[in-house]
Amino acid sequence: MPRISVHDFYDHVLSHYGDTAEGLHYQSASSQQTRFRVLRELLPEDLSGLTLADLGCGFGDFLLYLQEHDEEPGAYIGIDLHERMVEVARERTGAEIRQADVLSDPLPPADWYVCSGALNNLTLEETREAVGRCYAAAGTGFAFNLLHGKDNSQTFNYRQPAEVEAWAAELGAEVTIVDGYLHRDFSAALVKPGA
């Protein structure tokens, strides 16, 4: 079980902040954009021929970010657990948005998986399982971010880059870590060898 009820957690912040970056529990739209920029840098230069699956897509903001920078993928699949987010993402993007749980539901195949913020309420084992499942569903790789620190919160999931490097070794993945762009945040890309 996640350390908190994801539905209750997001129902609470959505009721206070609405359909905004803060409603997704980002500190601000600026911090959300910074995380998106780093994740984009971890993806291939040309996205136009790729299928991109966005785990925890929220309101579809990463797709909108890519569109604003003229970098729309060939195909996009948004995936989120929360009904309201799925509804808003469908309305805002017109893209394929699926309601699913990364820990229990089948994941669609895609060239790349990406995830910004959606791993932050999971336990250690759930995070490891989610990373493994997304990496397995991806033809090429999985780029994601995590909170950086000691895992002593009752709400949030804090990890260390060395843990992600160990997971990559277990999966046989090549790993790139990016740190230092925001306080207590880091990003990683796990890529299949030879991809």
Q: What is the mean pLDDT of residues 2-24?
A: 53
pLDDT tens figures, 60-69 = 999 999 999 9
pTM of the model: 0.87
**pLDDT band for position 9 (cuts 50, 70, 90):** low
Strand residues in 35-119 grouped as ranges (E) = 51-55, 75-80, 96-99, 110-115
pLDDT higher than 70, residue 30: yes
- Is pLDDT larger for residue 108 or for residue 150? 108
Tell me what pLDDT residue 13 has: 54
DSSP 8-state class, residue 118: T
Higher pLDDT pick, 117 / 176: 176
Sorted by where each starts, the structural domains of the chain and their CATH numbers stand as 6-191 (3.40.50.150)
Q: What is the mean pLDDT of residues 35-49?
A: 97
pLDDT class for 97, splitting at 50, 70, 90? very high
Residue 67 neighbours by CB under 8 Å, 6+ apart: none
Residue 143 pLDDT greater than 80, yes or no: yes
pLDDT above 90 for 14: no
User: Average pLDDT in the 138-142 region?
Assistant: 98
